[in-house]
Amino acid sequence: MVCWQFSDTYTVTVLTGLEIKSRVLKVRHRNETKCGCVGDQNHRNTHITGKPPSIFAVLCVCVCIFRYQGYIGAALVLGGVDCNGPHLYSIYPHGSTDKLPYVTMGSGSLAAMAVFEDRYKPDLEEEEAKRLVRDAIAAGIFNDLGSGSNIDLTVITKGNVDYIRPHDEANKKGVRTGDYKYKRGTTAVLSKCVTPLDLEVVEESIQTMDTS
């Protein structure tokens, strides 16, 4: 199974991944935006290939986004378990990749990485790892104004993927106590000045280059 999609309306600002024993834990802050507004808080894209998972998927994604030289702003975390065990990669928008025991991506990645560097150890148990990645994502949420509140957790083992959604809501949205829409004319206009602009219209002629 390969899970990835490029979209101009889908934004995830914090991604983390943690590799332990025979499994991979992936956590993300979830926030889908449409025209600047939250579109769907529970949106997931899953593409079933019907093939055994392989780290070859990393190469496919890297080659795809490398063609665009970073113009596709996709900072990805790709993890899974194949015949050789668990693998965890971070993939940058320009197509480079890192293979590490724990990774973070997105605008809140620095705060999340600080939590990993402080508390990570190779022999983590699953429940301890869940708490660690949850706290890492929460740190990214509280230290990044672009992040929202929901935390999703995915536990990937050989032959099984466990989606825990939502795992936690770290930063609950407050309730507005009043209406902040003011009527036109509420603020008085003290003075008004209009400056006319004299523009010169220039006609531009374009000649095609002879490439024969």
Distance CA 64, CA 188 (A): 55
CA-to-CA dists, residue 74 to 68, 90, 101, 159, angstroms: 11, 11, 21, 27
Q: Does residue 98 contact residue 112 with C-beta atoms inside 8 Å?
A: no
pLDDT confidence of residue 70: 87
Closest CA to 156 of 91, 87, 56: 87
Q: Tokens 């280059």 map to which residue?
A: 209
pLDDT confidence of residue 83: 82
Q: Tokens 């809140």 map to which residue?
A: 108
Torsion of CA 163, 105, 97, 124, to 10 degrees: -60
Neighbours of 117 (CB within 10 A): 11
3-state secondary structure labels for all residues of the chain: CECCCCCCCEECCCEEEEEECCEEEEEEEEEEEECCEEEECCCCCCECCCCCCCCHHHHHHHHHHHCCCCCCCCCEEEEEEECCEEEEEEECCCCCEEECCEEEECCCHHHHHHHHHHHCCCCCCHHHHHHHHHHHHHHHHHCCCCCCCEEEEEEEECCEEEEEEEEEECCCCCCCCCCCCCCCCCCCCCCCCCCCCCCCCCCCCCCCCCCC
- Per-residue confidence in pLDDT tens, the chain, 212 aa: 233 333 334 445 567 777 766 666 666 655 544 444 444 555 566 666 667 767 778 888 899 999 998 888 888 888 888 888 888 999 999 999 999 899 998 888 899 999 999 999 988 888 999 999 999 989 988 888 777 778 888 888 888 888 888 888 887 777 878 777 888 888 888 999 999 988 888 888 887 877 76
Left (φ > 0), alpha (ψ -120 to 50) or beta: where does 183 sit?
beta
CATH topology of domain 10-169: Glutamine Phosphoribosylpyrophosphate, subunit 1, domain 1 (3.60.20)
* pTM of the complete model: 0.66
Q: Does residue 113 contact residue 100 with C-beta atoms inside 8 Å?
A: no
pLDDT confidence of residue 84: 83
Q: Where are the domains of the chain?
A: 10-169
